[in-house]
Amino acid sequence: MAAVVDNSGEAVEAAKNNDLEVETTKSESKEFNVQNLVDMFTKLNPLAKEFFPSYFHHNQTKKSDNFNQVPVKQSAGNENFSNKRGRNNVNQGRRRLNGRAFRAQRDDSIRRTVYVSDIDQTITEEQLAGLFSNCGQVVDCRVCGDPHSVLRFAFVEFADERARAALSLDGTMLGFYPVRVLPSKTAILPVNPTFLPRSENEREMCTRTVYCTNIDKKVSQTEMKSFFESTCGEVSRLRLLGDQVHSTRIAFVEFAMAESAIIALNCSGLVLGTQAIRVSPSKTPVRPRVTRPTLR
């Protein structure tokens, strides 16, 4: 019986020794793994691009006297990435410069423009420009129909900042009404010079043409022609334009008589379809479409 007890005690001691060896092996493996990590981290370059942003290296190159840097050899992938980022920065800088230039040009145009209201319906753009030509060289003059009044309004742009002198013409009688002249808050949208009249005949066509905007897309060319003929007079040519991007369409309407075009300016604000149209004198003539020869 005692022999049995002794044997069991030996078995317990052997099991304890095995557990101790396993724990020792685990601790040694942990120490070994940690030591491997420490060795691996010591080999890393603390000034590599992976650890610092690009602006840090840029600033450090300026302060090379204060800090000793370890040169980092860039791989081909890093070089391509830096080149792409440089090109993107250049493109963004160009866009910012273009945006600033555009805003500066627009602000300069606004300073050279006056807003004129209460214009008699019988007054043409040439007559209005002639009135303001005494204040300086007139670059552009746009007369627009006012949907809230029987009178019209216009924008007059000068070649230089003579708009302040033009403000003195406030209250001048032009036709049957005294005009109001105020500083403009907007610039005149430029016209593509290729669309401007090229001959005296085309300039005469412009006096008989109006530019119509905010046209309902469901309105057909036939309906629009009938609308203007029943209200203003005979329409000799009509060009209805539009695309899928804009919600409305535009049109150029050429009348047989210049008086009809003046009457058409009073149609600004009238509802055609589901939209209130806006009508203003046209700066460009309605040129006939050029038919291309068909290939046989």
Class of domain 106-183 (CATH, top level): alpha beta
| pLDDT, tens digit (0-9, with 9 covering 90-100), for 267-296 | 888 899 999 998 888 888 888 766 555 555
177, 153 Cβ separation under 8 angstroms: no
Long-range contacts of 150-153 (CB under 8 A, 24+ apart): 150/121, 150/266, 151/117, 151/118, 151/119, 151/120, 151/121, 151/177, 152/119, 152/120, 152/121, 152/123, 152/265, 153/115, 153/116, 153/117, 153/118, 153/119
Can you give the pLDDT at residue 5?
Answer: 47
141, 156 Cβ separation under 8 angstroms: yes
Q: Which residues pair with 94 in a beta bridge?
A: none
| pLDDT, tens digit (0-9, with 9 covering 90-100), for 174-227 | 988 999 999 998 888 766 667 777 788 888 998 899 999 899 999 999 999 999
Domain with CATH 3.30.70.330 in the chain: 106-183, 193-281
pTM assigned to the model:
0.50
Fold of 193-281: Alpha-Beta Plaits (3.30.70)
